[in-house]
Amino acid sequence: LVIDGQAVSTPAMLDSINPSHLREVVGRVASATPDHAVRAIAAAKEAFPAWRDTDPGARADLLVRAANIMRSRRFELAGWQVYECAKNWREADADVAEAIDFLEYYALHMRRLAQPRGNNLPGEDNASFYEPRGVAVIIAPWNFPLAILCGMTAAALVTGNTAIMKPAEQSAVIAAKLMEIWTQAGIPPGVVHYLPGVGEEVGPTLAEHPDVALVAFTGSRGVGMVLNRQTAMLAPGQTHIKKLIAELGGKNAIIIDDDADLDEAVHGVVASAFGYQGQKCSASSRAIVLAPLHDVFLDRVVETTRSLKIGPAEDPSCKFGPVVDVEARDRILGYIDKGKAQARLVYAGDPGFVVSEGAYVGPHIFADVAPDAVIAQEEIFGPVLAVIKVSGLDEALRIANGTDYALTGGLFSRSPENIRRVKREFRVGNLYINRKITGALVGRQPFGGFKLSGIGSKAGGDD
């Protein structure tokens, strides 16, 4: 742990395991208790007034310094992701690049936000400006291990809040590297704290403490709803309303129109469904295909998926690695069993010899999936694609919009009229036309959804 600039050891430690080779321990990190959380909150509260009153330009400069350090450590940081989270090299590099983008984009944005604004009539001198809130708790997932933790923390810090980073158990080593980078960039002690630990153990203290002003969470719907309840309660001694930023899951669909360019559509769906083994909140887990193209599309998606070589993330010839841990693998296998009972399994990738070595689940494709089947409604967060046949665009849109989520969506079509209509009627946070639906870029495609996918704010955007 790093609390108030000091390294703190704990009797209990968490092993971080390489998902590609379960016998390999990538690192060991401390595991915070509720007492540590209370200490970190007190130190962050103490450091807040000075950080709040620091020149916003100096805070922005700190982010730019951190970005430069990351750039100089780009391959090392990507390497940690390959071994700790089983990102392949290309995806790992993209995550580091995204973290750098967040730092530079939020630095740039802060310089604009810091400009005084006022709407004056003669004789008046009005000023409108933003105030930092106080202590921000940042709770991050493992699937974009550096970018998401870095982006949420950078946004809190640059706007003048102090921050407590609670990374996911599966990516706590990469988070430790981020803590190193903040320190190297010259952040004053007490402004940011590193508090790895088990979510269920430290989460309630962090979310319910009266001195916490803001919780920024990216993760599952279940935990998001717990935090929503906890942050809404007024703790004794609390004198403010807590703000919760929650970015949750998705059940994202791509619609394939009957005039779609099949080469593009097949590539886009396979990349969106199986990139990083389907473990992206933006991943496509449903392909909704108009009947005339359905059979040929399905055949080609299956053949393309068959060509993905499964193996350890560090092997650059493997496009498809393991999922993050054994718990995730077992959960995904449970969904595959449910799929077999409700739909037609048309492809099951066989991980072969590597199966006992790591947390491997091959890509799975189901056809004839009913829109209300479990695998068409619940977020699986793994390599499982449900293909749904429809008779026309009306039905496609009804099914695409017919889940609890509204995060990403896509359309492959050559019809200007259908593209116009889908832009209006497919109601998701990020909609992509004639391309894959993952890989939003900071600033260019501000990212985030609504319904039960999130509160509607955008990461890497104005919010």
Is the CA virtual torsion 364, 367, 370, 376 positive or negative? positive
Measured CA to CA, the distance from residue 405 to residue 210 in angstroms comes to: 31
Say if CB 251 and CB 399 are below 8 A apart. no
**DSSP-derived secondary structure letter, 117:** B
Residue of 200, 263, 337, 417 that binds ligand NAD (CB under 6 A)? 200
Residue of 199, 278, 363, 460 that binds ligand NAD (CB under 6 A)? 199
Tell me which stretch binds ligand NAD (CB under 6 A): 196-204, 390-398, 419-427, 430-438. Answer: 196-204
Contact between 276 and ligand NAD by CB under 6 A: the answer reads no
Measured CA to CA, the distance from residue 335 to residue 337 in angstroms comes to: 5
Residue 98 phi, psi dihedral angles, 5° rounding: -65, -40
For ligand NAD, which is the closer residue by CB, 103 or 207? 207
Residue 187 phi, psi dihedral angles, 5° rounding: -70, 135
For ligand NAD, which is the closer residue by CB, 161 or 218? 218
Contact between 403 and ligand NAD by CB under 6 A: the answer reads no
Contact between 166 and ligand NAD by CB under 6 A: the answer reads yes
Say if CB 456 and CB 448 are below 8 A apart. yes
What is the x/- site pattern for ligand NAD, positions 123-162, by CB under 6 A? Answer: ----------------xxxxxx---x--------------
Contact between 335 and ligand NAD by CB under 6 A: the answer reads no
Query: What residues are annotated to the active site?
Result: 247, 281
Q: Which two tokens stand for residue 130?
A: 């933003």
What is the per-residue DSSP string for 346-403? EEE---GGGGGTS-----EEEES--TTSHHHHS---SSEEEEEEESSHHHHHHHHT-S
Residue of 27, 132, 160, 203 that binds ligand NAD (CB under 6 A)? 203
**11 Cβ contact partners less than 8 Å away, ≥ 6 residues apart:** none
Residue of 1, 32, 223, 387 that binds ligand NAD (CB under 6 A)? 223
Contact between 274 and ligand NAD by CB under 6 A: the answer reads no
Tell me which stretch binds ligand NAD (CB under 6 A): 70-78, 82-90, 220-228, 286-294. Answer: 220-228
Please give the residue ranges that form the binding site for ligand NAD (CB under 6 A). 139-144, 148, 166-169, 199-200, 203, 218-220, 223, 226-227, 247-250, 281, 379, 381, 407, 453-454
